[in-house]
């Protein structure tokens, strides 16, 4: 896994645990859910710990090796780094693919990608183009 991501997760002074939380609104009372989506699972964990949870509440949760944990019950050591990379890949890979860039190449590469990799032009050409179009 990319050391930058590991460092980000372990950097307690720079980030808050809430920076890693997913948030989903509970659409109806817990008792009406027949399935157990992860935000409902997190809400049920809160209820088990004595929290009051009702329809309309924003459920914040962290992805863990065991699945999910409500933000209120989680700590940095609970974070499953691989799951966060997987979610990032799911969101970003289609955009990168359109630019003919492989997500895994970016994550594993120690080299900085050059601007022309994204635009097919040299940095100088992009700078000149940007200056002429902005003026």
* Residue pLDDT, tens place only, 73-101: 999 899 998 898 888 888 887 887 887 87
Instruction: State the first-to-last Cα distance of the chain, in angstroms, to the nearest integer.
Output: 43
Q: How many secondary structure helices (H) and strands (E) does the chain include?
A: 6, 3
What value does the mean pLDDT take over residues 100-127?
Answer: 60
What are the residue boundaries of the structural domains of the chain, listed by start? 3-80, 83-134
**For residues 50-76, average pLDDT:** 96
**Mean pLDDT value across residues 22-39:** 96
Tokens 């372990």 found at: 10
CATH 3.40.980.10 matches 3-80: no
User: Token digits for 44?
Assistant: 């049920």
Instruction: Enter the pTM of the model.
Output: 0.67
Q: How does residue 116 score in pLDDT terms, banded at 50, 70 and 90?
A: low
Q: What is the DSSP secondary structure assignment for residue 70, as one 8-state letter?
A: E
């Amino acid at each position: 896994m990319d050391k930058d991501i590991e460092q980000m997760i372990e950097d307690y002074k720079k980030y808050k645990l809430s920076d890693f939380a997913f948030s989903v609104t509970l659409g109806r009372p817990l008792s009406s859910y027949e399935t157990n989506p992860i935000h409902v699972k997190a809400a049920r964990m809160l209820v088990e710990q004595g929290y009051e949870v009702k329809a309309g509440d924003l459920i914040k949760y962290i992805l863990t090796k065991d699945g999910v944990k409500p933000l209120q019950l989680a700590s940095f050591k609970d974070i499953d780094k691989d799951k966060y990379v997987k979610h990032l890949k799911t969101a970003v890979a289609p955009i990168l693919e359109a630019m003919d860039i492989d997500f895994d190449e970016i994550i594993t590469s120690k080299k900085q990608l050059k601007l022309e990799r994204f635009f097919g032009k040299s940095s100088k050409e992009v700078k000149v183009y940007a200056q002429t179009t902005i003026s």
